[in-house]
């Protein structure tokens, strides 16, 4: 997962995240990573259309976008 986060940051490519909020809700996000820290990452979320902060411990999964999704961020 760390390699995928770093690739998104360096190459400005979107990735999909499955994230568990502090309220216990699971969300699916399409993001581009802008900053990587020890305990959190900052990213631009295409669904919310704004920068977001994600706790690294709450990221359940990260993957390359599914077919048909990657064109929606342009």
**Cβ within 8 Å of residue 57, ≥6 positions away:** 39
DSSP-H helix ranges across 1-74: 2-11
Model pLDDT for residues 44-70, shown as the tens digit of each residue: 999 999 999 999 999 999 999 887 655
User: Residue 73 pLDDT more than 60?
Assistant: no
**pLDDT score at 72:** 53
Would you say 8 and 2 are in contact if contact means Cβ atoms under 8 Å apart?
Answer: no
Model pLDDT for residues 1-23, shown as the tens digit of each residue: 889 999 999 999 999 999 999 99
Where do the domains of the chain lie? Answer: 2-66
Q: What is the pTM of this model?
A: 0.81
- For the chain, the straight-line distance linking the first and the last C-alpha, in angstroms and rounded, comes to 24
Fold of 2-66: SH3 type barrels. (2.30.30)
**pLDDT score at 1:** 85
CA torsion angle 7 12 14 19 (round to 10): 70
């Amino acid at each position: 997962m760390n390699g995928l986060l770093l690739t998104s940051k360096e190459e400005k490519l979107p990735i999909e995240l499955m994230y568990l909020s502090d309220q216990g809700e699971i969300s699916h996000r399409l993001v581009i990573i802008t900053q990587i820290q020890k305990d959190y990452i900052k990213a631009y979320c295409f669904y919310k259309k704004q920068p977001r902060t994600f706790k690294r411990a709450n990221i359940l999964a990260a993957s390359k976008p599914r077919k048909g999704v990657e064109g929606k961020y342009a």
